[in-house]
Amino acid sequence: MSLYRNVVWFLKGIHEYTRDGYEAASKGFLAQDLDVSVVGRSFMITGANSGIGKATAMAIAKKGGTVHMICRNQDKAEAAKADMVRESGNTEVHVHIVDMSETRKVWEFTEAFKREHFSLNVLINNAGCMVNKREVNSEGLEKNFATNTLGVYILTQGLIPLLQKSRDPRVITVSSGGMLVQKLGVDNLQSEKGYFDGTIVYAQNKRQQVVLTEQWAKANPVIHFSVMHPGWADTPAVATSLPQFHKMMGDRLRSAEQGADTVVWLALSRVASRTPNGQFFQDRKAVPAHLPLAWTLSSKDDVQYFMAQLESLAEASQSRPSTQPSAALDPTRPYE
Active site residues: 202
Question: SS3 breakdown of the chain: % helix, strand, coil, rounded to 5?
Answer: 50, 10, 35
Which among 233, 235, 178 is positioned nearest to 208, based on CA atoms? Answer: 178
CA atoms within 13 A on the CB side of 196: 16
98 phi and psi angles, rounded to 5 deg: -145, 130
Calculate the dihedral angle through the C-alpha atoms of 38, 41, 44, 45, rounding to the nearest 10 degrees.
0
Cα separation values, 325 from 113, 262, 328, Å: 19, 34, 6
Across the strands, what pairs with 133?
A: none
Cβ distance 212 to 152 under 8 Å? yes
Cα separation values, 68 from 36, 177, 200, 205, 282, Å: 19, 27, 31, 24, 25
What b/e sequence results for 144-161 when a residue is b if at least 16 CB atoms lie within 10 Å of its CB, and e otherwise?
bbbbbbbbbbbbbbbbbe
Neighbouring residues of 218: CB distance < 8 A, sequence distance ≥ 6? 278
What is the secondary structure of 59-117 as a DSSP string? HHHHTT-EEEEEES-HHHHHHHHHHHHHHH----EEEEE--TT-HHHHHHHHHHHHHH-
**Helices vs. strands in the chain: H and E counts, helices first:** 13, 8
